[in-house]
Homo-oligomer: A and B are copies of this chain.
Amino acid sequence: MPQKQILKKFRTQKDEYVSRDQLTSDAGISDTQLKDEILSLKKEGYIIDSSPELGYRLIKTPNRLLPYEIQLDLTTNFIGQEIHHYSEVDSTNEVAKELAEKGAPEGTIIIAESQRSGKGRRGKKWLSPSGGVWMTIILRPDIPLSQAPLLTLVTGVAVAETLAQDCNLDVGIKWPNDILIGEKKVCGILTEASARGKELEYVVVGVGIDLNVDVEAFPPKLREGATSLKRELDKEIPGVKLVQDFMVNFENLYNEFTQGQLTEILNQWRRLSKTIGSYVEVHQKGRTVRGEAVGISKEGILILEMDDGSLQKVISGECIHYKGKL
């Protein structure tokens, strides 16, 4: 808490020195405590200049997803009002589940700077080096269990909207849960629900965005289909604003969703979809289906028109887009 107040003070007196008296009285701490807090801020990457006469001056904020930076001017009502930040975890979804079991409130966010064993769908490993956004949201929606998978679509729209609005790139969604720039994956979403009987207890939605990640360091097989915002824009992207914007967009869409306004969200998904209109191959357990993706149903089910003209619903699977088949 004192750190948050110190940083707030720095920001209100932008680029200026703040006297020790002001800082200690604002944060309600002693001179010695102030020194300690400044030291620990420096350890977190803040560059702070000190002058014996003038006090302290904030020179640079680290490009890290630190909770008080995210919360400083966050305009959400409940998403991200509680943030748990880790420098490294096995998986933010696993941490989220533990916290949810212990009663963490709706909207709690778990952020890690890197994950040792990030998870993708179908038990796949998800590479999560530092520089990316690895976070999970805890949700407690009052919806039937069967609707929980729709949260993947809601989240996909929120991510795609955020990237489009912040970065002006050709952002789209690949069914069911990948965000693409052009045809390359930049974000994955993993939704896991916990139910007791038929009762939905909580949902954790994991979002992994390759923000300032060096895709070149990925194994060759992953590198091919992946990209990062840093690579696309050829510069480091400030993560805090992106995460804040995502939280605002997500909260709005999630509110619409829980109020039953699914139609508009699905239409946004359809507009953002790079799958609809593509000839696709969907790999499912034990079989593969191929066809022209012509729509999604209100349950988020993909609809394929097969080569013989018949229609088929595809509930889940690994989807590959083919171009120029039409």
Which residues of A approach B to under 8 Å, CB–CB? Answer: 260, 262-263, 266-267, 270-271, 276-278, 292, 294-298, 303, 305, 311, 313, 326
Contacts and interface: CB of A to CB of B under 8 A. Distances in A.
Contacts of A305: 297-298
A108 B83 CA distance: 65
Name, among A260, A294, A326, the residue most crowded by chain B CB atoms within 10 Å (CB to CB).
A294
Contact of A271 (B271, B278, B292): B271
Contacts of A278: 263
Number of copies: 2
A298 B292 contact: yes
Contacts of A313: 311
Contacts of A298: 292, 294, 305, 326
Q: Which 10 A-B pairs have the closest CB atoms?
A: A295-B295, A294-B295, A311-B311, A267-B277, A294-B297, A263-B326, A271-B271, A297-B305, A263-B277, A295-B303
Contacts of A277: 263, 266-267, 270
B276 A270 contact: yes
Given A266-B277, A295-B295, 11 more contacts: A263-B277, A270-B277, A276-B295, A294-B295, A294-B296, A294-B298, A295-B296, A297-B305, A298-B305, A298-B326, A303-B311
12 contacts: A262-B326, A263-B326, A266-B277, A267-B277, A276-B295, A294-B296, A294-B297, A295-B296, A297-B305, A298-B326, A303-B311, A311-B311
Contact of A276 (B262, B267, B311): B267
A267 B295 CA distance: 11
